Structure 1
Amino acid sequence: MERPPNLAAAIDAAAEALVDVLDTAASRHRLSVSPTQLRVLSLICARSETNVNRLAELLDVVPSSASRLCDRLEATGLLRRAADPRDRREVRLLPTAAGEEVLRELTERRHRAVQAVLDRMPVRAQSELLLGLLAFEQAAVLQAGEQQKDATVRTA
């Protein structure tokens, strides 16, 4: 297969199709949880030691904005705040059982939506897509690490 003249634009367009499939699966969810709130919930579930300041760093927002996001999630019963057992001055953010269930349901919906599209593709193309996405993920992780290192050097 010949390389398109603007590979980045072609990949961007194809990735947009994947994002549309994922977004459609999320928008059909029974709860009215915004994409940002779902991202917050997902970050908190993936990082058990998260507090509001760490969440703000992960989202690249000010702590007061992160706190307001948590307030809304707490009001809907998807998140709770708890004192850190090692340092009672620290408040950890924890998903509730309902929050974990929302993410579990969303993940299942997204997997089914992606599988429905994959079922329309030849098996070889599915394998090539997976290999390409895994390589892209590795390169993105390396780039993010380099950018983090560069940012640390500039602030030192």
Structure 2
Amino acid sequence: MERPPNLAAAVEAAADALVGVLDSAVSRQDLTVSPTQLRVLALVTTRPDLNVNRLAEVLDVVPSSASRLCDRLEATGLLRRVADPRDRREVRLVPTPAAQSLLCEVKERRRRAVQGVLDRMPGRAQHELLLALAAFGQAVAAGADPGDSPARSA
């Protein structure tokens, strides 16, 4: 297969299609939380040291906005604020078991949606996609700052 004249644009279009599949797998009426709230839950699940100020930095919002997001998640029973055992002045954000369950459900729905698309692809194309995505991930990791970690998980 020949390299397209604008490979980056082709990859971006494919990424947009993938995001569309992932988004459609979890329709808004099926969820009790907004996409932003879902992202917050994913972040606090993968970053146990996250507090409201750090969450605001990751989301690129003011701390009061991040705090209101956490207030809404706490009111629905999906998030708790707990004192850090190492420094009681620090308050950590902790997902509840209900949040963990919600994230697992979302992840499973998204996997099924992606599998549905993969099932329509020839086996060889699936294998080539896997190799290409693995190489892409390695290239990202090779150029990443050791202090960076992915901010999007959901």
TM-score range relative to shorter protein: 0.7 to 0.9
Match of 2:90? 90
Match of 1:152? none
Contact 1:52 1:63 in 2 (8 A): yes
SS in 2 for 1:100: helix
**1:59 to partner: Cα distance:** 1.7
Cα root mean square deviation, aligned: 1.9
Contact 1:29 1:106 in 2 (8 A): no
**1:58 to partner: Cα distance:** 1.9
Instruction: Tell me which amino acid in the other structure corresponds to 2:81.
Output: R
TM-score (norm 2): 0.87
Give CA-to-partner distance per residue, 1:80-139, whole Å, 9 cap, x none.
Answer: 111111111110100011111110000000011101111111122112112212222232
Match of 1:26? 26
Paired positions, count: 148
Going by fraction, where is helix more abundant, 1 or 2?
1
**What stretches of structure 1 move > 2 A for 4+ residues in a row?**
28-32, 137-144
Match of 1:125? 125
Provide the C-alpha distance between the structure 2 equivalents of 1:123 and 1:85, rounded to a whole number of angstroms: 51
Match of 1:41? 41
Unaligned runs of 5+ in 1: 149-156
Contact 1:52 1:66 in 2 (8 A): yes
Instruction: Tell me which amino acid in the other structure corresponds to 2:67.
Output: S
Higher relative contact order (CA 8 A, sep 6+): 2
Contact 1:78 1:97 in 2 (8 A): yes
Provide the C-alpha distance between the structure 1 equivalents of 2:37 and 2:141, rounded to a whole number of angstroms: 24
Contact 1:44 1:93 in 2 (8 A): yes
